[in-house]
Structure 1
């Protein structure tokens, strides 16, 4: 049996908040080191962000969605990603 692969994980969160014709979409990257970075400026779709981090070796593991339409509209999409941990 070969050596086990160690993984590191990250989270991409897409948040859509809207009321009537006004809405705001933002993207936040939660890195494996615990960092939190607003990456909204890098693209306006989840696919753009997933393709960007995919080029860095990240693989989509799962996706989840929360929707609350009581007052206006709020959607939160979570994209869980992993990649092999670089060994020293």
Structure 2
């Protein structure tokens, strides 16, 4: 049986006047939170970056957080194997 660890990549887009501010945060399996916005400017680039580290995308969700649509959040749930456990005897 395979055991897994899980992480979360969050993309947030917020209106700042006439412009949009985009940020990305990585929530690691150890409970850490890291601003990874400087590593890439698109979710695809970051997903490819984490995919190269063995992470697999398992689901994605989008929220528009207010009635005016000035904030949106995308959540990318990822997993990667920790180890395989042999059959019980």
TM norm structure 1: 0.88
Q: Equivalents in 1 of 2:5, 2:12: separation in Å?
A: 23
Q: Which runs of 5+ in 2 are unaligned?
A: 85-89
**Corresponding residue for residue 62 of structure 1:** 59
Deviation, 1:41, is 0.1
Q: Equivalents in 2 of 1:72, 1:51: separation in Å?
A: 28
CA contact (8 A) 1:19 1:72 kept: no
Root-mean-square deviation over aligned CA pairs: 1.5
Deviation, 1:84, is 0.1
Name the count of aligned residue pairs: 84
Q: Which runs of 5+ in 1 are unaligned?
A: none
Deviation, 1:71, is 3.6
After the TM superposition, which parts of structure 1 deviate over 2 Å for at least 4 consecutive aligned residues? 68-72
Secondary structure at 2:54 match in 1 = coil
**Corresponding residue for residue 45 of structure 1:** 42
Secondary structure at 1:85 match in 2 = strand
CA contact (8 A) 2:2 2:83 kept: no
Deviation, 1:70, is 2.6
Q: Equivalents in 1 of 2:28, 2:59: separation in Å?
A: 16
TM norm structure 2: 0.87
